């Protein structure tokens, strides 16, 4: 049972607010990914929730209880750091037992809980191993087990996968997902890696420059970004300026129906992989010239200059060559129209 | 508030021992139970430079040249050794580190006494070089200890990068290795200098009363009971240490400012 | 002793180059340190070509160990080295913990702490002589406050049976040394691991007992050992500030060595070798203690 709620949370480092006016709710048993570029204030939020940094304004509630004034050791949340930070003077079992020992839980009860958690995290047989003899992945798993064994209401994870290589990261990702299903622990997971956020979490909260920009399912954020910055963060920077009149967006000779109300300065966005090259012009097409082609393996990236600006297109197969005239098709059902900016009506 | 109290305690603790030395070095008359000198003067300080005290200046020079020579040799031998111990893994390294570091812990008394007779036979006793050697037996292990730590934090990839950019071995040392390790080397040099500077018994045994360094003169002055002069020489004796500290604090201050994000 | 050395650097180096780098320093240290101890041992054993007297074998050692003064001297030396080490270690622990978050930023604190580190023992011994002797500053202060009538009425703090001035000198000198060793560890790893402890529900007191102490224990032990060994084998301070009887072992050793009677010279060497042996024994004991404590931690 664990529920976390942040209301208008502001955390400052010295005088400067790092995170301002944050509202976020993590429901019982949910994994929420807090996604954002490095320096966005993600770790600061986790430290504030854990009680390692004071919140200057706002409320932190764990299971509806206001915890702002509680020191870290009395909050029912465990923070998993980016580095494993295992105690070098204890072995694996000693590290995992640490929190139980602090709570005065020992003997058979503790041993059973430790054994169970070691089985879940795949650490069987390593109990007596010294921590500097472990691999990076094992160390991070011990850190995870050390937190989970306390059965906290909330588990806070601060980029726990970033120090691992690609394959281990994948394994650890799956492990966290499995652990979450098996234990039902509520988790707030911080990462700068969008695929990690999408793969691990139930919901994603995007943090840019210290404030929360959009919260929702992975698909929502990816295909229906709230604004230009969100779209750019997910690599979709094809913007078309135009206007909405009578349920139709029109801009740069493109048109598409929309449910949004009239707006004089509307913007539509389309993801690079939704653009198509077609043989001949028609509705929702623009003439252009290929500026650059770069082969990136799984797909090829083309920059195409048109009268309405330069657009990026991702193609599955390498196509087009520099200088080639092409016709660019914008499927209207793939265009996403941003909400009308204030004063744009 | 707690901080201020702590700072005051550290300040008083660090400074207090210099107070009686300062007072006594300027005292002309100071009988019990006067709390402060009844007569002030520069007799003690002028003793250091006048003809009768010529030996103080000689002692200063002797101590200085000894410490300088010892430090130069310590660095010459210690930098390669510190590099080997700090940078590389090899069989028997733990044993070797222990062997090289043992002289730091084991008192130099027995070593000086043991070597004395041999140095007499070799004609090294009562010579400058003989005293340098006995100081080296104390200073070199310390230098290696400090430099080992310096090189543990040193990344030799910079050297490979410089070589791939066309620098020769000598250029690599002067332009890359030395600038990168200079702060650590300076600390090692300072340690070695101060250690040699404060040697008393080993100088006495090997120098046989011929090498009159400052600490040896200071002992004689205390036995003679001339408190003002002993105090003045004591202050002279700590001067290099304090100067080095001030210079170090200055350099450290610059480093700190550069180190701030 | 140093846990950092046990972790490898992951770099290797050709043996020839290693020899070139390490050879000269190794040769000189072996020659001077190893050679010095060995030659001393030969002389103390009365090995003929080096011996001045007629005693050979363990005679000089037997003579020293059989001397009625030996237990007293050993006891006094152990008392001085042990007491100054324990007091300095405890004060350093308090100081390091009080300073840990602050010393990193405060240049003034750093500078002040370095002063005792750089000042020779001899100078501090002289200063304490001027403060603590019967006609010293403290006695004069007592007189000004009406507490002390004459120098003779002032409690004996110099050349006294308890070695107060000697202890004060060592403690003053060694506190910064131990404090810096502790700060180095605490600054690197201490605060991060303490945060981990807090999120794992350890209270302030538990964090100190179960995280901070285990982390600094090896450094505290190593620093204490170095300090103990120094105080056990140093000559200047007890010579200046100690009683005339009993003497500490190093003072006794030098007195015998420099005696007009050249026959007592091997005896002096024998005493200094006993000092060396005791220190080596302490190092060995410390290593064993460290290993057994590691095994205990590991096997729990």
Instruction: Tell me which H or E stretch contains A310.
Output: strand A309-315
CA distance A61 to chain C (A): 16
Alpha helices in chain A (DSSP H): 42-50, 92-102, 107-120, 136-148, 166-183, 194-200, 218-223, 228-233
- Mean pLDDT (whole number) for C67-76: 90
A252 with A242: CB under 8 angstroms? yes
Tens of pLDDT, residues C118-128: 888 999 999 99
Phi/psi for A301 (5° steps) reads -110, 125
Domains parsed from chain C with CATH numbers: 60-299 (1.10.3720.10)
Query: Residue C78 has what pLDDT?
Result: 94
- Tokens read off for C112: 């002040």
* Nearest by CB: C196 against A85, A91, A130: A85
Say if the Cβ atoms of C11 and B230 lie within 8 Å: no
Say if the Cβ atoms of C254 and B201 lie within 8 Å: yes
Residues of chain B below pLDDT 50: 253-261
* Nearest by CB: A150 against C7, C200, C211: C200
* Whole-number Å distance between alpha carbons of B78 and B139: 10
A90: contact with C, CB 8 A cutoff: yes
- Tokens read off for C105: 């930023």
> Judging by DSSP bridges, how do beta strands A4-13 and A16-26 pair with one another?
antiparallel
Per DSSP, the residues of B100-116 read HHHHHHS-THHHHHHHH
Chain A residues within 8 A of C215 when measuring between CB atoms: 88-89
A near B: at least 3 beta-carbon pairs less than 8 Å apart: no
Query: Residue B8 has what pLDDT?
Result: 86
CA distance C161 to chain B (A): 21
Query: Residue C136 has what pLDDT?
Result: 87
**Buried b / exposed e across C252-273, counting CB within 10 Å, b at 16+?**
bbbebbeeeeeebbbbbbbbbb
Instruction: Give chain C's largest Cα–Cα span.
Output: 74
Query: Residue B254 has what pLDDT?
Result: 43
**Category of A64 on φ-ψ map: left (φ > 0), alpha (ψ -120 to 50) or beta:** left
* Nearest by CB: B90 against C13, C151, C172: C13
Tens of pLDDT, residues B74-111: 999 999 999 998 888 888 888 888 888 788 888 888 99
Tens of pLDDT, residues B106-141: 888 899 998 998 898 888 888 999 999 999 999 999
Query: Residue C33 has what pLDDT?
Result: 92
Residues of chain A below pLDDT 50: none
CATH number of B56-224: 1.10.3720.10
* Nearest by CB: B89 against C8, C38, C116: C8
- Tokens read off for A310: 């330069």
Say if the Cβ atoms of C139 and B219 lie within 8 Å: no
Chain C residues within 8 A of B83 when measuring between CB atoms: 21
Say if the Cβ atoms of C254 and B100 lie within 8 Å: no
* Whole-number Å distance between alpha carbons of A230 and A232: 5
| Chain B interface mutation, best of C40, C168, C247, C265, highest count of B Cβ atoms under 10 Å | C40
Q: Which CA distances in Å does A55 have to A2, A186, A196, B190, C269?
A: 21, 21, 28, 46, 67
Residues 6+ apart with CB under 8 A from A239: A228, A231, A267, A268, A269, A309
* Whole-number Å distance between alpha carbons of A71 and A196: 31
pLDDT band at residue C160, thresholds of 50, 70 and 90? Answer: confident
* Nearest by CB: C25 against B6, B78, B107: B78
Instruction: Give chain B's largest Cα–Cα span.
Output: 74
Cα torsion C235, C239, C242, C246: sign: positive
Phi/psi for A60 (5° steps) reads -115, 120
- Mean pLDDT (whole number) for C212-240: 90
Chain C residues within 8 A of A94 when measuring between CB atoms: 297, 300
A130: contact with C, CB 8 A cutoff: yes
* Whole-number Å distance between alpha carbons of A217 and A33: 10
**Buried b / exposed e across A300-339, counting CB within 10 Å, b at 16+?**
bebbbebebeebbbbbeeeebeeeeebbbbbebebbbbbe
* Whole-number Å distance between alpha carbons of B102 and B195: 16
Chain C residues within 8 A of B1 when measuring between CB atoms: none
**Buried b / exposed e across A7-37, counting CB within 10 Å, b at 16+?**
eebbbbeeeebbbbebebebeebbbbbbbbe
* Nearest by CB: C200 against A98, A130, A132: A98
Query: Residue B250 has what pLDDT?
Result: 66
Residues 6+ apart with CB under 8 A from C19: none
Is B12 in a helix, a strand, or coil?
helix
Going by C-alpha positions, the residue among A260, A204, A258, A200 that lies closest to residue A234 is A204
Query: Residue B135 has what pLDDT?
Result: 94
Q: In what order do the strands lie in the sheet with A276-278?
A: A276-278, A325-329, A285-295, A300-306, A309-315
User: How is chain B split into domains, by residue range?
Assistant: 56-224
Phi/psi for A230 (5° steps) reads -65, -45
Say if the Cβ atoms of C199 and A72 lie within 8 Å: yes
* Nearest by CB: C202 against A51, A83, A102: A102
**Buried b / exposed e across B27-53, counting CB within 10 Å, b at 16+?**
beebeeeeeebeeeeebbbebbeeeeb
- Tokens read off for A267: 């913007």
Residues of chain C whose beta carbon is less than 8 angstroms from a beta carbon of chain A are 3, 7, 189, 192-193, 195-203, 206, 210-211, 214-215, 217, 297-300
Q: What is the DSSP letter of A125?
A: T
Say if the Cβ atoms of C137 and B230 lie within 8 Å: no
Chain B residues within 8 A of C133 when measuring between CB atoms: none
Say if the Cβ atoms of C193 and A85 lie within 8 Å: yes
* Whole-number Å distance between alpha carbons of C40 and B235: 36
């Amino acid at each position: 049972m664990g529920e976390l709620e942040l209301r208008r949370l502001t955390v400052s480092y010295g005088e400067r607010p790092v995170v301002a006016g944050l509202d976020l709710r993590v429901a019982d048993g949910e994994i929420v990914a807090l996604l954002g570029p490095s320096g966005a204030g993600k770790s600061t939020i986790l430290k504030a929730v854990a009680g390692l940094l004071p919140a200057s304004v706002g409320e932190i509630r764990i299971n509806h209880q206001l915890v702002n004034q509680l020191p870290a050791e009395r909050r029912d949340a465990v923070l998993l750091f980016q580095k494993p930070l295992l105690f070098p003077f204890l072995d694996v079992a000693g590290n995992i037992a640490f929190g139980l020992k602090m709570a005065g839980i020992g003997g058979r009860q503790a041993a059973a809980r430790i054994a169970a958690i070691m089985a879940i995290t795949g650490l069987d047989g390593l109990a007596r191993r010294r921590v500097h003899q472990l691999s990076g992945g094992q160390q991070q798993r011990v850190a995870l087990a050390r937190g989970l064994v306390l059965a906290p209401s909330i588990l806070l994870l601060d980029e726990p996968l970033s120090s691992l290589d690609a394959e281990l990261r994948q394994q650890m990702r799956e492990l966290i997902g499995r652990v979450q299903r098996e234990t039902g622990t509520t988790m707030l997971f911080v990462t700068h890696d969008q695929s990690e956020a999408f793969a691990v979490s139930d919901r994603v909260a995007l943090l840019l420059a210290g404030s929360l920009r959009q919260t929702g399912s992975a698909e929502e954020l990816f295909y229906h970004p709230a604004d230009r910055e969100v779209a750019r963060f997910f690599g979709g920077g094809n913007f078309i300026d135009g206007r909405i009149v009578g349920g139709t967006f029109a801009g740069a000779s493109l048109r598409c129906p929309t449910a949004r109300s009239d707006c004089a300065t509307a913007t539509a966005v389309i993801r690079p992989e939704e653009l198509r090259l077609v043989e001949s012009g028609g509705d929702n097409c623009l003439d252009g010239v290929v500026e650059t082609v770069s082969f990136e393996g799984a797909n090829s990236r083309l920059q195409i200059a048109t009268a309405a600006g330069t657009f990026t297109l991702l193609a599955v197969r390498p196509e087009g060559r520099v200088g080639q005239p092409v016709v660019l098709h914008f499927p209207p059902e793939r265009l996403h129209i941003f909400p009308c900016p204030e004063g744009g009506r | 508030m707690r901080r201020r109290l702590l700072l005051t305690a550290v300040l008083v603790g660090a400074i207090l021992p210099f107070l009686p030395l300062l007072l006594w070095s300027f005292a002309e008359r100071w009988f019990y139970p006067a709390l402060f000198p009844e007569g002030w003067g520069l007799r003690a300080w002028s003793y250091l430079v006048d003809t009768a005290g010529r030996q103080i200046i000689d002692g200063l020079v002797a101590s200085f040249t000894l410490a300088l020579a010892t430090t130069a040799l310590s660095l010459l031998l210690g930098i390669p050794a510190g590099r080997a111990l700090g940078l590389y893994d090899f069989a028997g390294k733990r044993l070797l580190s222990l062997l090289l570091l043992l002289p730091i812990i084991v008192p130099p008394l027995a070593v000086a006494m043991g070597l004395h007779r041999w140095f007499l036979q070799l004609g090294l006793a009562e010579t400058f070089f003989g005293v340098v050697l006995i100081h080296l037996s104390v200073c070199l292990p310390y230098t290696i200890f400090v430099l080992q730590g310096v090189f543990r934090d040193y990344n030799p990839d910079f050297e490979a990068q410089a070589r791939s950019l066309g620098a020769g071995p000598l250029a690599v040392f002067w332009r890359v290795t030395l600038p990168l390790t200079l702060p650590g080397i300076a600390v090692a040099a300072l340690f070695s200098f101060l250690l040699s500077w404060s040697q008393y018994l080993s100088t006495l045994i090997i120098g046989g009363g011929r090498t009159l360094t400052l600490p040896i003169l200071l002992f004689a002055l205390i036995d003679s009971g001339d408190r003002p002069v002993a105090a003045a020489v004591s202050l002279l004796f700590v001067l290099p240490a304090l100067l080095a500290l001030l210079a170090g604090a200055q350099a450290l201050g610059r480093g700190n400012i550069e180190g701030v994000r | 002793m140093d846990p950092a050395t046990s972790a490898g650097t992951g770099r290797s180096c050709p043996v020839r180059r290693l020899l070139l780098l390490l050879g000269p320093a190794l040769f000189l240290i072996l020659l001077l340190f190893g050679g010095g101890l060995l030659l001393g041992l030969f002389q103390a054993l009365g090995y003929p070509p080096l011996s001045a007297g007629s005693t050979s074998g363990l005679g000089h050692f037997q003579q020293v160990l059989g001397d009625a003064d030996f237990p007293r001297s050993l006891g006094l030396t152990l008392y001085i080295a042990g007491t100054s080490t324990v007091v300095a270690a405890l004060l350093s622990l308090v100081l390091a913990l009080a300073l840990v978050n602050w010393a990193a930023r405060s240049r003034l604190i750093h500078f002040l702490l370095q002063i005792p580190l750089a000042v020779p023992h001899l100078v501090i011994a002289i200063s304490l002589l001027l403060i603590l002797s019967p006609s010293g500053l403290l006695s004069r202060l007592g007189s000004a406050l009406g507490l002390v009538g004459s120098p003779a009425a002032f409690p004996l703090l110099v050349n006294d049976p308890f070695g107060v001035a000697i202890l004060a000198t060592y403690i003053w000198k060694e506190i910064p040394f131990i404090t810096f060793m502790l700060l180095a560890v605490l600054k690197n790893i201490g605060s991060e691991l303490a945060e981990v402890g807090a999120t794992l529900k350890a209270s302030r007191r538990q964090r100190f007992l179960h995280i901070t102490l285990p982390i600094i224990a090896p450094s505290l032990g190593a620093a204490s050992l170095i300090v103990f060994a120094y105080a056990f084998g140093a000559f200047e301070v007890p010579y200046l500030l100690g009683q005339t009887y009993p003497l500490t072992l190093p003072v006794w050793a030098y007195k015998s060595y420099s005696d007009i009677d050249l026959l007592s010279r091997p005896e002096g060497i024998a005493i200094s070798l006993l000092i060396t042996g005791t220190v080596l024994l302490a190092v060995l004991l410390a290593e064993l203690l460290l290993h057994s404590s590691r095994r205990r931690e590991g096997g729990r």
